[in-house]
Amino acid sequence: MIYTCTITPSIDYTTYLPAFKPGKLNRSNEVYYYPGGKGINVSRVLQRLQVKSVALGFAGGFTGDYIKQFLQQEGIETAFVDTHEVTRINVKVKSEQETELNGPGPNINQDQQQELLNKIQMLRQNDWFILAGSLPDSIPQSFYQAISKICDEKDARFVLDTSGQALKNLIQTKPFLIKPNQQELGGLFNTSISSKQDAFYYAKKLVDRGVQNVIVSLGGDGAIFVTKELALEAIAPKGSIVNTVGSGDSLVSGFISSFIETNDPQEAFRYGVASGSATAFKTDLCRKEDVESLVSQVKINSFNE
Ligand SMILES: Nc1ncnc2c1ncn2[C@@H]1O[C@H](COP(=O)(O)OP(=O)(O)OP(=O)(O)O)[C@@H](O)[C@H]1O
Ligand SMILES: O=P(O)(O)OC[C@@]1(O)O[C@H](CO)[C@@H](O)[C@@H]1O
């Protein structure tokens, strides 16, 4: 089974308007309320790719109820720990530029932390556990370490798509897959990544530290993929951008769904990049047919140092 874990879910209030003027009253007439947060997006895309998953994490209040209901209506099993605190609403303004306003993550007490750890004990050998989205500093780092320890003990594949101090610490646990974007990769090494060469250099360092698969997503420039055996770049398909929110999460889902089917990391990488781009070209997350129509347009090259 695949479990996604979103410590900081959200409702993504997504609004389109021709021009956004900060400091003024702006009115929009096209709005969407999607359940969001990175692990939740991974579950939603997996479902669209006909792969079952269980969505875990913390959710509460009317927004938490909305998220759970929405996911269940899409056929996704949920097992969230109730927070009582209202789950955040993240504002995504789509205008000449994409502007995002993300709320803070929840405060989680020790009982709630333990409740989630108890749920994670259900992991079995070869299950997947995807810890995705921001990991708030209000929760002790030892909690995230405890999650990775359970994955290790149960021999589950641990996938990390997060940022900040928690990502730095969790790298030591040698996850199966991590998918930082350019900024997140730079953050790991206190540097800025300004070229694909840089991205390869630092991704290789992560592989040397024991991460098995490193994908660095580079927005419209595609992605790179480094393992002990592979160093590949993918050129993303061209298309008209509608909403890139969730494209990184779609990449993760596409990679996992194809890897499960083919056991071929290179094909999984291609399918993942197609999924990321398919989402960038849509208002909501990609559907299987969107991905399949783009797969052949993803060019994969070996990276030559
Ligand atoms: N402008 C674009 N054109 C084509 N493909 C895109 C574009 N932006 C993103 N993508 C696709 O989506 C993938 C992930 O994008 P990106 O690097 O922006 O992820 P991210 O920063 O993790 O996004 P998010 O956090 O919103 O999920 C890219 O590797 C690419 O395949
Ligand atoms: O604040 P975080 O947890 O870093 O990111 C949350 C978020 O921006 O990421 C998803 C897209 O990847 C959105 O659904 C959500 O609003």
Q: What are phi and psi of 146, to 5 degrees?
A: -65, -40
Quick one: tokens of 265? 């990391």
pLDDT at 278 over 90: yes
Q: How far apart are CA 290 and CA 239, in angstroms?
A: 12
pLDDT over 80 at 229, yes or no: yes
Q: What is the pLDDT of residue 136?
A: 86
* Residue with CA closest to ligand 2 atom 4: 134
Q: Do 132 and 170 form a contact (C-beta atoms < 8 A)?
A: no
pLDDT at 138: 82
CB atoms within 10 A of CB 261: 13
Section 55-80 average pLDDT: 98
pLDDT for 118: 98
- Give every CB contact of residue 117 below 8 A, 6+ residues apart in sequence: 143, 146, 147, 150
CB of 141 shorter than 6 A to ligand 2: no
Average pLDDT, the chain: 96
- Map tokens 């504002």 to a residue: 91
Catalogue all structural domains in the chain, each as residue range(s) with its CATH number: 1-175 (3.40.1190.20), 179-305 (3.40.1190.20)
305 neighbors 277 (Cβ within 8 angstroms):
no
- Ligand 1 neighbourhood includes 241 CB (under 6 angstroms): yes
Average pLDDT, integer, range 122-134:
96
Q: What is the mean pLDDT of residues 140-164?
A: 94
**Does residue 304 carry a pLDDT above 80?**
no
What is the signed CA dihedral for 160, 156, 7, 178, rounded to 10 degrees? 0
With a 6 Å cutoff on the Cβ, whether 184 touches ligand 2 is no
Q: Which of 217, 250, 279 to mutate to test the pocket of ligand 1 (most atoms within 8 A of CB)?
A: 217
Which band of pLDDT confidence, cut at 50, 70 and 90, is reported for residue 145? very high
- Determine the distance from the C-alpha atom of residue 44 to the mean position of all C-alpha atoms in its chain, rounded to a whole number: 11
Q: Which residue among 38, 214, 218, 244 has the greatest number of ligand 1 atoms within 8 angstroms of its CB, and so is best to mutate?
A: 244
What average pLDDT does this structure show over 104-110? Answer: 94
For residue range 1-48, list pLDDT tens digits in order.
999 999 999 999 999 999 999 999 999 989 999 999 999 999 999 999
pLDDT band at 137 (very low <50, low <70, confident <90, very high): confident
Res 305: pLDDT: 62
Structural tokens at position 89 = 């609403």
pLDDT at 81 over 90: yes
Kindly state the percentage of the chain with pLDDT values over 90. Answer: 94
Helix, strand, or coil (residue 208): helix
Would you say the pTM of this structure is higher than 0.90? yes
